[in-house]
Amino acid sequence: MSRDASRLSLILLFAPFVLWIGLLIILPQVGIGYTSLREKISWNEYSFGLKNYVDFLGEPVYRNTLLRTAWMSILVTALALVMGFPIAYYIAKIARERSRAALFLMCLIPLWVSDLVRAYGWIVLLRETGVISTALVKWGIINQPIEMLYNDMTVIIGLVYTVILFMIVPLVSTLQGMDDALLEAGYNLGGSRLTVLRRIIIPYAMPGIVSGCIITFMLTAGSYLTPILLGGKNSSWFTEQIYNQFITRYNWESGSAFGVALLVFTSFVVWAGLRLTGQSLATTVAKD
């Protein structure tokens, strides 16, 4: 009886997780993959093949937009790592125990509002008649208002602001497990701060670095609102192409193929990053 009760408890414990993964992740992806293989013959007749993928690969605009999205997502991930690592290290190893919760709360505050509100907050700051431009004119730094929206730099700033928390959290989780004796030993052996950082801290934090990079890269590549609102017509983000296929052209077959292409390409970038850093996904998840 006790074995049956333990088995039932285990099933009930994992049932919500299995349903979540199956119904909200696996099943929709299977449906998208199935739809991407359909070729429309007439308004109610379909065949199956790879025509949607051939059309995607044969159009330079789509390929270039996907490559541009991947490159800018990598840049955003790198900037989030450079900016987030010192914050995570301070929270995990320098800040007092009482202040860590408050610092975490400060990092969580931007997530209390939606992506739309956060994007419009940047618009209020950076538009031609916005807070920053008006202040620069008032202080005599510039002669006339300038438009700081609708360019790649603005999109990168907005995306880094959006995803940096997802870099900080796994880094803090990993760094908190590092014994302070390791740092003391490094300094006692004559290591400088840079040497201790390079030889002790970064190798120890590598699982958190890899986890944070994967999360921020995938979130950035799949972002829609921030690139569209801050980049305007010059954004050229791949998710906009997917939106256009689904909503504007009502071509669900091509939109599904574009979605699968984005998933496959970003997964390949993550795999290549793991290979270059000598990490494995299973090891990273286990350590983090």
Degrees to nearest 5, angle at CA 99 with 97 and 105:
120
Average of per-residue pLDDT across 34-47? 81
> What's the Cα-to-Cα distance from 122 to each of 47, 68, 110, 128, 221, rounded to whole Å?
46, 22, 12, 12, 20
For residue 176, the 8-state DSSP code is T
Here the tokens at position 274 are 């793991």
CATH of domain 46-287: 1.10.3720.10
What pLDDT, in 10s, does the model give residues 236-274?
899 999 999 998 888 889 999 999 999 999 999 888 888
pLDDT score, position 280 = 67
Q: How confident is the model at residue 130 (pLDDT cuts 50, 70, 90)?
A: confident
Q: Where are the domains of the chain?
A: 46-287
pLDDT at 186 over 80: yes
Number of helices and strands in the chain (H, E): 15, 2
Q: How confident is the model at residue 136 (pLDDT cuts 50, 70, 90)?
A: confident
Q: How confident is the model at residue 80 (pLDDT cuts 50, 70, 90)?
A: very high
Report percent pLDDT > 90 for the chain: 31
Q: How confident is the model at residue 189 (pLDDT cuts 50, 70, 90)?
A: confident
pLDDT at 188 over 80: yes
Q: How confident is the model at residue 151 (pLDDT cuts 50, 70, 90)?
A: confident
Here the tokens at position 136 are 């620069």
Alpha-carbon gap, residue 34 to 72, rounded angstroms: 30
Q: How confident is the model at residue 214 (pLDDT cuts 50, 70, 90)?
A: very high
pLDDT at 108 over 90: no
Average of per-residue pLDDT across 160-174? 91
pTM listed for this prediction: 0.87
Alpha-carbon gap, residue 249 to 171, rounded angstroms: 42
Alpha-carbon gap, residue 14 to 12, rounded angstroms: 6
Here the tokens at position 156 are 């990168």
pLDDT score, position 163 = 92
pLDDT score, position 281 = 63
- Which conformational region is residue 179 in: left (phi greater than 0), alpha (psi within -120 to 50 degrees), or beta? beta
Degrees to nearest 5, angle at CA 74 with 69 and 80:
125
Here the tokens at position 105 are 């709360």
The residues near 228 (Cβ < 8 Å, ≥ 6 apart) are 235, 237, 240
- Which conformational region is residue 190 in: left (phi greater than 0), alpha (psi within -120 to 50 degrees), or beta? left
Residue with tokens 């939109």: 255
Q: How confident is the model at residue 282 (pLDDT cuts 50, 70, 90)?
A: low
Alpha-carbon gap, residue 228 to 248, rounded angstroms: 15
Alpha-carbon gap, residue 253 to 242, rounded angstroms: 11
Please report, as a single letter, which amino acid is at residue 69: T
pLDDT score, position 284 = 57
CB 129 within 8 A of CB 136: no
Alpha-carbon gap, residue 50 to 40, rounded angstroms: 12
pLDDT score, position 143 = 83
- Decide which of 111 and 266 is more confident: 266
Alpha-carbon gap, residue 265 to 236, rounded angstroms: 17
Please report, as a single letter, which amino acid is at residue 14: F
pLDDT score, position 2 = 64
pLDDT score, position 288 = 54
What pLDDT, in 10s, does the model give residues 223-232?
998 999 888 7
CB 176 within 8 A of CB 95: no
pLDDT at 283 over 70: no
Alpha-carbon gap, residue 255 to 244, rounded angstroms: 8
